[in-house]
Amino acid sequence: MSRSVQVIRENQSPSGAYPACPTFSAYAGYAWLRDGAFIAEGMSRAGEEASVTAFHEWCARVITARTAQVDDLISRRHGPLSPGEMLPTRFTLDGADGTDDWWDHQLDGYGTWLWQLAEHARRHSVEVPMEAVRVASRYLAAFWDSPCYDWWEEHVEQRHVATLGAVHAGLRAAVSLGVTDAEVKEAIGGIEALIAAEGVSAKGHLRKWLGSDEVDASLLACVAPFGLYAPDHPVAVATVAEVERQLAHEGGVYRYRADTFYGGGRWVLLAGFLGLNHAAAGRRDEASRYLEWMAAQALPNGDLPEQVSDVLLFPDRYDEWLQRWGTVATPLLWSHGMYLMLGAEL
């Protein structure tokens, strides 16, 4: 655990941002709210209060700086809006928008940030940046039902259940922090109703997106840690079981069955999510096996990668990504954050 804390602490920007990966060509110099929030949760659980508070101060500056943009978007919410007009999902380490093209309209990061902020405030009694909380919650309450890119920056035309789960968790967190807007409470109920009506397959598990019967490992977060469904709820039980059946292999977890990114390897951070779900359901032995697999993927210096390439879904697609962006992102700070989260849970 100490190596993961060290990797995250040493790579945290003086601005407070957690970079996704300091060396990977496509990630270097950028921070994501989603990645950062899960990194922060691991560090918060590890007792690294000052580091996490600095991250939230950075997030608050990033979000409040876009108050006017949120106001403008909400005023035009019933007209046509392109993905490029929405708030970005990643930022430079000093909080600016990126200058290169990216799949940049994702709602889940704002929900995940609110969720972690509430967790950190509960755990360490820190001051909450309420202005940023209100801006983020207003944005999510206005656009939660809109299509956007998923965790993996794909399928912008869909409404993804993992995204809805993150927004639901974030809006609940905003209410717990003192937000009283009726629109926020209405959005919470709307998400619950939509998922119940369209987000559960005939087999009883959550869907990758509305209208699809596929699963995606990101759905695990809807149970643990977001709590959309309790671990013993039939939908939660069916979702965890189906993700494990389709996507887990000898301790590692694939993103989804059609994944061709770097050939479709097993992701270290997703093993953490599956372990968290086992732990939440009281299956500590199963959870421990996933933690052990995560640790076994570390390089000799202790760095954890984004994914491992030993058992690929599409091995013929590996080289194209190697030539495009170089070797797999290492260290991935989100992998280290998930290792800390599962380790603390156990």
Predicted pLDDT at 168: 98
Predicted pLDDT at 100: 81
* Residue 250: exposure state from Cβ atoms within 10 A (0-12, 13-18, ≥19): exposed
Residues recognised as catalytic: 150, 153, 306
Q: Do the Cβ atoms of 38 and 340 come closer than 8 Å? A: no
Structural domain boundaries enclosing 246? 2-345
| Cα separation, 223 vs 48, whole angstroms | 25
Predicted pLDDT at 104: 86
pTM listed for this prediction: 0.98
Predicted pLDDT at 301: 97
What is the band of 13 on the pLDDT scale with cuts at 50, 70, 90? very high
Spatial neighbors of 270 by CB under 8 A, at least 6 apart, are 217, 220, 247, 252, 253, 254, 255
Predicted pLDDT at 37: 98
Query: pLDDT tens digits for 77-130?
Result: 999 999 999 999 999 999 999 888 888 899 999 999 999 999 999 999 999 999
Predicted pLDDT at 337: 98
Reading the block at residue 98, the tokens are: 């990126």
Predicted pLDDT at 103: 85
Domain total in the chain: 1
Spatial neighbors of 339 by CB under 8 A, at least 6 apart, are 1, 4, 42, 268, 272, 291, 294, 295, 304
Mean of the pLDDT values across residues 219-245? 98
Query: pLDDT tens digits for 193-209?
Result: 999 999 999 999 999 99
User: Bridge partners of 91?
Assistant: 31, 97
CA atoms within 13 A on the CB side of 39: 33
**CATH for 203:** 1.50.10.10
